[in-house]
Amino acid sequence: MGTWEIRNRFGQVFMGMAGGLLAAWARRSVGYVRAALRSPGPERDDAVLLGKSVAAATAAWSVARWLLPSTVWSFAPLTALLVLQATVYRSLRHGAQYVTALGVGAGLAAGLASWAGIQVWTFALLMLAALLLSRPRPLGAYGFQVVAVAIFAFNAGQGRIAYVGHLMATVAIGAACGALAHAIAAPARRPLHRRERVARLYERLADVLRDISEGLLEGDDRVALRASGQWRSNAAHLSGEAEHAEGAVAAEQENAWFNPRRDPTDSRHLLPRTRCAVRIAHLCVSHVRSLTRTLDHARADGQEGCLTRSFRTGYAESLNFLADALEHVGRVERTDTDALDTVLRRARDPLSGLDALPACADGSCHDCLILRGALVNDAARIAVELDHAATGMDRAEEAARAPRHPRRGNRSASSSHAA
């Protein structure tokens, strides 16, 4: 095979791979656009943020180009993009950190240059001071901007006060354009959507417990645990979903801060209940993972015989009631505490009788007692978490509804003033 044929074949393979990647990217892009147009969600939020970013950056560059010298135009769109974050609170925080870092770096460069001129030793002193000033924690991830802007202002601006003024003016233009974009189209608030996502997490967790219950009742001891690997995989997948749901709830809480858009739902009271619900769900997922891990190890170690028919029947009954309790707690509406107490009592009754059963067929298996104790303990912990869930959500809502009274010292001071 000649060199030309090798190159030709290599080119065909490369073009085929590039075409496949391009087709996959096109399919994902089409699906992303359809999801953004179909219903509210993260895809639509990303699309709106993308559009606002383009508009804010273009507006900032246009205003800076109209008012300021060309040497500082680039900072206007960069500032607009850095300021325009997913939430108003994050935009304010990042904007304050970025503008502060730029102001410190530019002021430091201008001060040193005007005092000692553009010299090698002043540049070294500038680097030392900028690196030290970039370390404070309040600057966050933008601490290094102190160093970058100090170098830029020292070299490109020669430390001139006029250049520093133009630089801060273009940064102010970019920050104003980013803030204006949020004021015109504030981020959407969807606390009810987050609560529904947590409710679906509870439903999936209940389905996992029912799958385990059905599997334990199938056939003999060896057949009962044949799906333990799948149960363990499902529980691990739910752990990732719980982490994502917890992050989404935290992001929604942040989204409510300083957001000018009013939410149609009572988010002030719904979000505290959702935070409590997702925390309880995360704990329950951890116990279910421990339960499925124990069952999978029992199958791998050949301990299926420890789980006799009578034990599996009682344990499966308890898991079914725990699944019902999960659905009670996970629903979007307020939890019926009386119904939840009844279901949890039915879930605990079979567990209390499992310790009285023989450890295994001949009643002498110490390892079986350990295995059963671990399974009963995991189920009991799930019941305890759910028992505290309803009261915890009610207390979180009551704390959110309670009026914030001024401190006693302030009241006494005002009363003494009145006297």
Q: Per-residue pLDDT tens for 151-176? A: 888 877 676 777 788 888 988 999 99
- Residue position matching structure tokens 């979180």: 396
Of 95, 192, 202, 194, the residue nearest 140 (C-alpha): 95
Beta-carbon count within 10 A of 10 CB: 10
The overall average pLDDT reported for the chain is 79
Query: 245 and 278 in contact (C-beta within 8 Å)?
Result: yes
pTM for this structure? 0.73
Instruction: Give the list of residues 6+ apart from residue 261 with CB closer than 8 angstroms, or none.
Output: 186, 187, 188, 189
Cα R_g (the chain), whole angstroms: 31
pLDDT at 62 over 90: yes
pLDDT at 412 over 50: no
| pLDDT, average across residues 266-287 | 82
Of 251, 278, 395, 391, the residue nearest 332 (C-alpha): 278
Instruction: Give the list of residues 6+ apart from residue 356 with CB closer than 8 angstroms, or none.
Output: none
pLDDT at 414 over 50: no
pLDDT band at 413 (very low <50, low <70, confident <90, very high): very low
- Among 147-151, 172-176, 357-361, top mean pLDDT goes to 172-176
pLDDT band at 332 (very low <50, low <70, confident <90, very high): confident
Burial of 291 (0-12, 13-18, 19+ CB in 10 A): buried
Domain boundaries in the chain? Answer: 45-184, 191-401
- Among 7-16, 151-160, 255-264, 278-287, top mean pLDDT goes to 278-287
Q: 191-401 adopts what CATH topology?
A: Methane Monooxygenase Hydroxylase; Chain G, domain 1 (1.20.58)
| pLDDT, average across residues 346-370 | 69
- According to the model, what pLDDT value does residue 262 have? 75
